[in-house]
Amino acid sequence: MYPLAADQPYPRNQWWVAAYASELGRTLLARDILGEPVLFYRTENGDPVALAGICPHRAFPLKRGRLVGDAVQCGYHGFTFAADGHCQFVPSQKNVPQKSALRRYLIVERGNLLWIWTGQESLADPGLIPDMEAIGPGNPDWVVEQHPLATVDARYTLLIENLLDLSHVTFIHANTIPGGSKVVEIPVTLAETERSLTVQRNGQNLPLNPLIQMQFPHQKGPVHQQFDAEYLGPCLIRTGGAISDAASGTVLGIQNFLHMITPASPTRLHYFVNTARNFGLDNPALATMNLGMGTRIQPEDIDAIETIEAVLQSGATLPTEISARIDNGALKVRRRLEAQIFAETGCA
C-alpha cells in the first residue's frame, strides 16, 4: 500500500485516539476505526464503552438501536448486548445464542481524549499511550484548545508525511501562517529516540510577526522559534516548539500543535487537533486566534492530501518516487511504521 512496503496498511497493536471525551455520552456514537465499525457510549456511571458496531444477528448497525441502562438494544429485532459485549437478551426465547457477543474494545480516558486499543488485548499496555501531560493536555501549567474533528478522505500515512515535512508551510500555508514563508530556508536536523523521531528546524533571529507580538506583547526584538515535527507514533505528531528572545536566549513560551491521527479505513482518517501553550494562560484572545487559525490552516492540508489520495486511487501510472534531503525524517518514519507492522504480521 503506497507508500508502505507492508501489505497491512496499519499497525493494530497500537493505541489510537477514538474520540474527544466530550463526544461520548448517553447517545450512541458510531465511528469507523481501522476499518471496523465501532459503537461508543457511556454507562450510567459515565464510564466509556466501545463495542463492535454491527449486530451479529443480521448486520443491522447498532447505532440505530438504543440504550437500555448500560446495555445496547439492536433496533431491528431487539437483541440486547451488555456493556462488556455479551448478549444478555433475545426477545422471544429464553436462551441467548452461543458466540453472540460483540467485540469489546479496551478504551482509556485521559484528559480530553479517549484512546482505543485495536490489537491483541493481552498486549494492551496503557503505559504505551503517549505522555500528553508533557506536551500540554492535562497539565495545569498549560492551556489547551480542542479543534473540531475532521474526517479526511486520505490514507493516514499521507497526513503523517505532510506533518513531518514542514517545508510545505512555505507553499501551502504561505498566507495563513505568519512567518511561514521562511520555514523552507531553515536547516533541518533529526533527533531520534526509541519512541520518537523529531525533524527539527530552529529559526534564528526571526523578525517579530503579528502572531508572536500577540502571543508575547512585551517582546520587542527578534525571536528564535522552533518548528519541530515530532513523531510520537502513528497516532500522534507534535509540531511547534519553543519561542525565545533572540538577544538573551530566554524562552518566552512553548506553543505545541498536537495532531492525533487515526485510520478510519485504508483510505480515510480521523484528524483530531489540539493546540497547547504554557504562556498567556489567561488570555482568551489567544484561544480564539488559535481556533480561528485552525479553521483556515487545516483545510489547506486536508485539500492537499485528499488531492493526492484521489491521484493514488485514479489508477494513473505514477512516476517513480523521488525524495530530497528534507524527506529523511519522513522516510525513517516509514521504515519505523513498516517495522511495527511487520513485527505484528510476522512478514517482512
Interface ranges with Fe ion (CB under 5 A): 301
Please list, residue by residue across 70-92, b when 16 or more beta carbons sit within 10 angstroms of its beta carbon and e when fewer do.
ebbbbeeebbbbbbebebbebee
Contact flag: residue 89 with ligand FES (CB under 6 A) = no
Output the nine-digit C-alpha cell for 220.
520587542
Q: How far is the CB of 234 from Fe ion (least distance, A)?
A: 18
The residue among 58 and 296 lying less far from ligand FES, judged by its C-beta, is 58
List, in order, residues 6 or more apart from 272 with CB less than 8 Å away.
17, 20, 113, 147, 149, 259, 260, 261, 262
Contact flag: residue 86 with ligand FES (CB under 6 A) = no
HSE of 124, CA atoms in CB hemisphere, 13 A: 15
Name the residue with cell 522559534. Answer: 225
Q: How far is the CB of 169 from Fe ion (least distance, A)?
A: 6
Output the nine-digit C-alpha cell for 340.
511495527
With contacts defined by CB under 6 A, how many residues of the chain interact with ligand FES? Answer: 9
Where residue 98 falls (left for φ over 0; alpha for ψ -120 to 50; beta otherwise) is: beta
List, in order, residues 6 or more apart from 245 with CB less than 8 Å away.
219, 221, 223, 224, 252
The residue among 76 and 342 lying less far from ligand FES, judged by its C-beta, is 76
The residue among 99 and 220 lying less far from ligand FES, judged by its C-beta, is 99
Q: How far is the CB of 73 from ligand FES (least distance, A)?
A: 8
Q: Are 269 and 155 in contact (CB under 8 A)?
A: yes
Q: How far is the CB of 54 from ligand FES (least distance, A)?
A: 9
**H or E segment at 95?**
none
**H or E segment at 247?**
none
One DSSP character per residue, 200-221 reads EEEEEEEPP-HHHHHH-TT--S
The residue among 3 and 75 lying less far from ligand FES, judged by its C-beta, is 75
**With CB cut-offs between 5 and 8 Å by kind, which of ligand FES, Fe ion, none does residue 74 bind?**
ligand FES
- Name residues contacting ligand FES, limited to 45-84 (CB under 6 A): 55, 57-58, 60, 74, 76-79
The residue among 74 and 212 lying less far from ligand FES, judged by its C-beta, is 74
The residue among 230 and 301 lying less far from Fe ion, judged by its C-beta, is 301
Q: How far is the CB of 100 from ligand FES (least distance, A)?
A: 10
**With CB cut-offs between 5 and 8 Å by kind, which of ligand FES, Fe ion, none does residue 301 bind?**
Fe ion
Q: How far is the CB of 90 from ligand FES (least distance, A)?
A: 8
Applying CB under 6 A, the residues found at the interface with ligand FES are 55, 57-58, 60, 74, 76-79
